[in-house]
Amino acid sequence: MVSPAHYVALAVVLFVIGAIGVLVRRNAIVIFMCVELMLNAVNLAFVAFARLHGNLDGQVIAFFVMVVAASEVVVGLAILTSIFRTRKSASVDDANLLKY
């Protein structure tokens, strides 16, 4: 029988993979995708907790997380295209004007 603990464990694994991706990758688009992966993992945990407690608050919060993630992606990708337009690169190494 699959218990909510299984889903939470899977959410932990997906979150960690997303975090490693954010740390390792240098293409800004892929970093963004890994952030989305982390958000999705947390959503999975929310849904599992909603099932665990038998009330729907977790699902509502997961829904709000989706809304916030969608608007975050819109703004983030717009920033990315404007950076790409000026720097001709999507690598986070090349956006270093504020470094020093």
Partner 1 sequence: MTHPVVLAVGAAAATQSIAFWALAIGSVAAALGIVLARKAVHCAVLLALVMLTLAIMYAMQGAPFLAFVQVIVYTGAVLMLFLFVVMIVGVTSADSVIETIKGQRLAAGVAGIALLVLLSLIVGQAVIGPAAPGGPNFGSANVGAIATLIFTRYVFPFEVTSALLITAALGAMVLAHRERTSPKPSQRDLSIRRMASERPAPLPGPGTYARHNAVDMPALLPDGTAARLSVSAVMGVRVESGTAIAGPGEPASVAAPAQDENPPAGAAADTGDEEERW
Q: Cα-Cα-Cα-Cα dihedral of 48, 49, 50, 53, to 10°?
A: 130
Q: Is 27 in a helix, a strand, or coil?
A: strand
Cα 93 to Cα 72: distance, rounded to the nearest angstrom: 22
Closest contact distance (angstroms) between CB of 97 and partner 1 is 16
By beta-carbon proximity to partner 1, the closer residue of 75 and 97 is: 75
- The verdict on 95 binding partner 1 (CB under 8 A) reads no
- The verdict on 87 binding partner 1 (CB under 8 A) reads no
Closest contact distance (angstroms) between CB of 70 and partner 1 is 6
- The verdict on 67 binding partner 1 (CB under 8 A) reads yes
Residues 29-58 that bind partner 1 (CB under 8 A): 29-30, 32-34, 36-37, 40, 43-44, 47-48, 50-57
Q: For residue 29, what are the contacts with CB-CB under 8 A and spacing of at least 6?
A: 77, 80, 90
